Amino acid sequence: MNTKILRPNIDEMTGYTPGFQPPDIASWIKLNTNENPYPPSPKVKDAILEELGSSGASLRTYPSASSEKLRKVAGDLYGFDPSWIIMANGSDEALNNLIRASAAEGEEVAYIHPSYSYYATLAEIQGAKIRRFGLTDQFRIADFPGRYNGKIFFVTTPNSPLGFSFPIDYLDEIASRCDGLLVIDEAYADFSGNNALELVKRHKNVVITRTLSKSYALAGMRLGFAIARPEIISALDKIRDHYNLDRLAQAACIAALQDQTYFSEKLAQVIATRDFFSSELQKAGYEVLDSGGNFVFASPSDLNGRRVYDALYERKILVRHFTDPLLKHGLRISIGTIEEMKHTLSTLKEIG
């Protein structure tokens, strides 16, 4: 491409590759992108239809620019004033705007490897410097300095793809060692029964990001949010697209957050299926890491993740294999329905 037209860092970067969404999606057991196997609350569909109205005329006018009612509902649910919450078009939007708000070109953005590689893509777009911290054998951050002066540090907990969570007192200490923002990406926190929300109140630099894509089964709607001090939220508010959530998404999100009975029921089902699948897979000779997410990271005894990925693929079961040297021995397998997981188990046993 003509490098005089494009910014060199954009011209040179490869860009993020999202998990594969097959066009004939219904003919697969799809366990590759940590989607929820259950539909969202039935109240979500009702709320969307009500917002749409019989003629669709509501779409004529812009939605609430600040997702006002939604922020109040989320604030009540999580125990924060709405001034501490910003809604996002998927938590990816919040992650993007956090980098844009904090790291200028050439400044440092850090994340843990392995975790969510999209942080690196966003940093590349910004032209920021990227630093990766590894993990110790006990799943603690390797070589984290006494004081870290990068502009922003992303910590995914529970970690994807490995599934472990950092203890809250450990994150508390990491927050006090960061001069810049500590972004705790809690995309999977609902499945772990634990969260770091109290750290937002305790530290000026802590931001929590959440998504409705996983635990609320709304990946197709693109809904996420960030919780932080109002100073940080105001900065993010200046950066976001001013109508970042459409009317239907706002209505869907309110309905989903308000139906906590349905939410808890489905969450419990996914967790029970995860625990069943993990223990059965271990009995079948796989090494399976403890997971606080809606997925497990599992390795076959020959440590050839690719072989098993290909064999599952041939049988229309889609899981995630990473070519990274730290991960290529295993697979990340999302938790589907109990029927899907029993079928996956027997297929894995047959593959050997």
Ligand X SMILES: Cc1ncc(COP(=O)(O)O)c(C=O)c1O
Among 187, 245, 253, 271, binds ligand X (CB under 6 A): 187
* Smallest separation, CB 125 to ligand X (Å): 15
DSSP class per residue in 222-265: --EEEE--HHHHHHHHHHS-TT-S-HHHHHHHHHHHH-HHHHHH
Which region, judged by CB under 6 A, interacts with ligand X, from 9-17, 84-92, 271-279, 281-289? 84-92
* Smallest separation, CB 142 to ligand X (Å): 20
Looking at the Cβ atoms of 185 and 280, the one nearer to ligand X is: 185
Which region, judged by CB under 6 A, interacts with ligand X, from 7-15, 86-94, 131-139, 269-277? 86-94
> Could you give the CA distance from residue 352 to residue 346 in angstroms, rounded to a whole number?
10
| Assigned token pair, 31 | 């366990």
Looking at the Cβ atoms of 93 and 280, the one nearer to ligand X is: 93
Looking at the Cβ atoms of 222 and 266, the one nearer to ligand X is: 222
Binding to ligand X by residue 250, rule CB under 6 A? no
* Smallest separation, CB 213 to ligand X (Å): 3
CA distances from 330 to 132, 262, 293, 322, 348 (A): 21, 33, 16, 8, 13
Looking at the Cβ atoms of 189 and 200, the one nearer to ligand X is: 189
| Assigned token pair, 7 | 């910014």
Among 80, 84, 111, 116, binds ligand X (CB under 6 A): 116
> Could you give the CA distance from residue 119 to residue 103 in angstroms, rounded to a whole number?
12
In the range 323-342, which residues lie near ligand X by CB under 6 A?
none
List the beta bridge partners of residue 111. 132, 154
| Assigned token pair, 135 | 């993990």
* Smallest separation, CB 218 to ligand X (Å): 9
Looking at the Cβ atoms of 36 and 91, the one nearer to ligand X is: 91
Binding to ligand X by residue 82, rule CB under 6 A? no
Selection from 221, 162, 217, 228 nearest residue 190 by Cα: 217
Looking at the Cβ atoms of 41 and 211, the one nearer to ligand X is: 211
Looking at the Cβ atoms of 233 and 348, the one nearer to ligand X is: 233
Binding to ligand X by residue 224, rule CB under 6 A? yes
CA angle centred on 145, ends 141 and 150, rounded to 5°: 95
CB atoms under 10 Å from CB of 275, counted, come to 14
| Phi/psi at 40 (5° precision) | -65, 170
Which region, judged by CB under 6 A, interacts with ligand X, from 64-72, 90-98, 190-198, 227-235? 90-98
Side-chain half-sphere of 250: how many Cα atoms within 13 Å?
22
Site string for ligand X, 11-50 (x = CB under 6 A): -----------------------x----------------
Binding to ligand X by residue 160, rule CB under 6 A? yes
> Could you give the CA distance from residue 213 to residue 91 in angstroms, rounded to a whole number?
9
> Could you give the CA distance from residue 277 to residue 261 in angstroms, rounded to a whole number?
25
Among 37, 63, 82, 90, binds ligand X (CB under 6 A): 90
194: amino acid identity, one letter: N
Selection from 76, 81, 111 nearest residue 95 by Cα: 111
* Smallest separation, CB 187 to ligand X (Å): 4
Looking at the Cβ atoms of 98 and 232, the one nearer to ligand X is: 98
Q: How many residues bind ligand X (CB under 6 A)?
A: 13
Are 207 and 224 within 8 A, CB to CB? no
CA angle centred on 11, ends 6 and 15, rounded to 5°: 130
Binding to ligand X by residue 91, rule CB under 6 A? yes
Looking at the Cβ atoms of 219 and 345, the one nearer to ligand X is: 219
Structure letter (DSSP) for residue 147: S
Among 51, 107, 185, 259, binds ligand X (CB under 6 A): 185
Give the interface with ligand X as residue ranges (CB under 6 A): 34, 90-92, 116, 156, 160, 185, 187, 211, 213, 219, 224
